[in-house]
Amino acid sequence: FCFANMKSGQLQINELRNILNEHFHWHKARLDCFVSMLLALLAVNTVNLTQLAVSFPSRALISSRYRRMQRFFSEHWIDYDDVAWFIMRLFGFTDSDYYLSLDRTNWKWGKININLLVLAVVYRGAAIPVYWLPLNKRGNSNSRERIALLKRFIDQFGRDPIKGILADREFIGDQWLGWLLEQKIPFTIRIRNNCYTTNAQGERIRVDQLFYTLNPGEERIIRDARKLGRHRVHISGLRLSDGEMLIVVSDHFEPQAIQIYGLRWEIETLFGCLKGRGFKLEETRVVGYLRIKKLLVLPVIAFCWCHKIGEWKHTCILPIKIKTHNRRAQSLFRYGLDAIRSEILNLFTTSKKLLLIMISILRPSLPDPVRNNLSLCAR
């Protein structure tokens, strides 16, 4: 962890601590530890505690820093609703409508399975995580776990802003779809091609038979609701370029159902940022059910900060170059991550004014005109 001088570095740590304290209200020692871990994570790009201990900004022995982090994840209580509110306010979701994406990511450490169910808001290419639930088992989540996660979100933020739930093929089942329909929560969910539904005559057929005449690139929307299990849903299908069928179901007739479902991919981008392309979540040796849930707060806050800095730089400082295939040369997350790391690690930067500006972006209450003025200071 490299600051031009320790006094300057302490100034940044104090400012970051003050901003986070406005939302989390943790004990000072706990908040100091979290802020130090956050800055260390951005320096080394891994949640492995052994690596974090080396970059942890402290004059204590490396072994002492390591034990301090261990105590944080074993003893400190976290209110995940406070974390969720911080994230929702940071991105302005409390004043807008949004799609929610629900998905699961898992990996193994030795013989131990780490399995996380994540609920995130679709946003500008990479979904923003709000709640997550470690699953103390292998394989798919069940309806009870999905409903519990979504209920927690609705209890805090309501159901009215939800434009729809987006999910992949594992997120089906009569109980789950029935609850979404009963709660009047819109959804667009992919189903397996071998599911059974009914044709126009009410006969029971495989759902892919409704679309067998489609050529690659063609899609079809069934206008009337068809039965799927115990419920009636609206079905749309697209023949992919490799010949496979993509079939989604919605709670209502939606001409853009296939395009809306495509937004689900943003949660896969999120997982890539938290894992291999970002903070190497799979390198953690924290595997306990409650500890992994607590640990995830660290890379999630880091991800949100990087994404906001990437947005700010792209909008106010220097737009990301667009390549010939009309895509950005790098993601907003990577743009922001590189900018923060440059300020933290650059030995030749004698002023830390820019890093202070980047820290201030984490203040959700910051008005837009102030954000724009910050861009002038950063140039």
Per residue in 201-234, pLDDT tens?
Answer: 999 999 999 999 999 999 999 999 999 999 999 9
Q: Look at residue 238 in the predicted model and tell me its pLDDT.
A: 97
Query: Which value, in Å, is the radius of gyration of the alpha carbons in the chain?
Result: 23
Per residue in 249-269, pLDDT tens?
Answer: 999 999 999 999 999 999 999
Pairing of strands 162-167, 98-109: parallel
Q: Look at residue 111 in the predicted model and tell me its pLDDT.
A: 82
Q: Check: CB of residue 329 under 8 Å from CB of residue 323.
A: yes
Q: How far apart are CA 365 and CA 85, in angstroms?
A: 12
Could you tell me where the beta strands, DSSP code E, fall in the chain?
A: 98-109, 112-121, 128-134, 162-167, 187-191, 196-198, 204-206, 219-221, 226-228, 231-239, 245-250
Q: Look at residue 347 in the predicted model and tell me its pLDDT.
A: 63
Q: What is the mean pLDDT of residues 109-135?
A: 94
Task: Check pLDDT > 70 for residue 8.
Answer: no
Homologous superfamily of the 82-268 domain (CATH)? Transposase Inhibitor Protein From Tn5; Chain A, domain 1 (3.90.350.10)
Per residue in 266-302, pLDDT tens?
Answer: 999 999 999 988 999 999 998 888 899 999 999 999 9
Q: Look at residue 5 in the predicted model and tell me its pLDDT.
A: 46
Task: Check pLDDT > 60 for residue 177.
Answer: yes
Could you tell me how far CA 257 lies from the centroid of its own chain? 22
**Residues 34-44 as b or e (16 or more Cβ within 10 Å = b):** bbbbbbbbbbb
For the entire predicted model, the pTM comes to 0.92
* Position 375 confidence tier, pLDDT thresholds 50, 70, 90: low
Burial of 5 (0-12, 13-18, 19+ CB in 10 A): exposed
Nearest to 302 by CA among 90, 99, 105, 95: 90
Q: Bridge partners of 228?
A: 231
Q: For 169, how many CA atoms within 13 A lie in the half-sphere containing its CB?
A: 8
Q: What is the mean pLDDT of residues 57-79?
A: 94
